Structure 1
Amino acid sequence: MTLAQKLAGLVLVVILLLVLGGGCGAWLAARHYRPLLDAANTNLVTTRSALDSLEALAVEQSRKLGELVQAGELRERNAALAQEKARQEARPDYAAANNLLRERTGGDPAQAARAIIDKELGL
Structure 2
Amino acid sequence: MAIVEQYRVAVLWVAAVVLLAVGALAGAGAAYWVTASHYRPIVDAKTRAAEASASILASCRTTSSTLEGQVGQQNLALADLRLAAEKRAKEAEPIQQQAAKAAGEDYQAANRLQQERTGGDPAAAAAAIIDKELGL
* Counterpart selection for 1:89 from 69, 86, 95: 95
Deviation, structure 1 residue 48:
0.8
After TM superposition, the structure 1 = structure 2 runs for residues 22-101 of structure 1, keeping only pairs within 5 Å, are 22-98=28-104
* Counterpart selection for 1:17 from 23, 27, 30: 23
Instruction: Please give the alpha-carbon distance, in whole angstroms, between the structure 1 residues aligned to 2:87 and 2:95.
Output: 12
Instruction: Please give the alpha-carbon distance, in whole angstroms, between the structure 2 residues aligned to 1:28 and 1:64.
Output: 55
Distance 1:34 1:84, change over 3 A: same
| SS of corresponding position for 1:10 | helix
TM-score by length of 1: 0.73
Which amino acid in the other structure matches residue 53 of structure 1?
S
The higher relative CO (CA closer than 8 Å, separation ≥ 6) is in 2
Instruction: Please give the alpha-carbon distance, in whole angstroms, between the structure 2 residues aligned to 1:101 and 1:9.
Output: 126
Over aligned residues, Cα RMSD in angstroms? Answer: 2.3
TM-score by length of 2: 0.66
Instruction: Please give the alpha-carbon distance, in whole angstroms, between the structure 2 residues aligned to 1:70 and 1:86.
Output: 24
Instruction: Please give the alpha-carbon distance, in whole angstroms, between the structure 1 residues aligned to 2:19 and 2:54.
Output: 50
| SS of corresponding position for 1:8 | helix
Instruction: Please give the alpha-carbon distance, in whole angstroms, between the structure 2 residues aligned to 1:46 and 1:103.
Output: 80
1:93-119 Cα offsets, whole Å, 9 max, x none, are 3234446667999xxxxxxxxxxxxxx
Instruction: Please give the alpha-carbon distance, in whole angstroms, between the structure 2 residues aligned to 1:58 and 1:104.
Output: 62
Which amino acid in the other structure matches residue 25 of structure 2?
V
**Identity between Structure 1 and Structure 2 (%):** 20
Distance 1:29 1:104, change over 3 A: closer
Unmatched 5+ stretches in structure 1 = 106-123
Instruction: Please give the alpha-carbon distance, in whole angstroms, between the structure 1 residues aligned to 2:91 and 2:107.
Output: 25
1:34-83 Cα offsets, whole Å, 9 max, x none, are 11211121111111101100000110111111111222222122112112
Larger Rg: 2
Structure 2 match to 1:6: 12
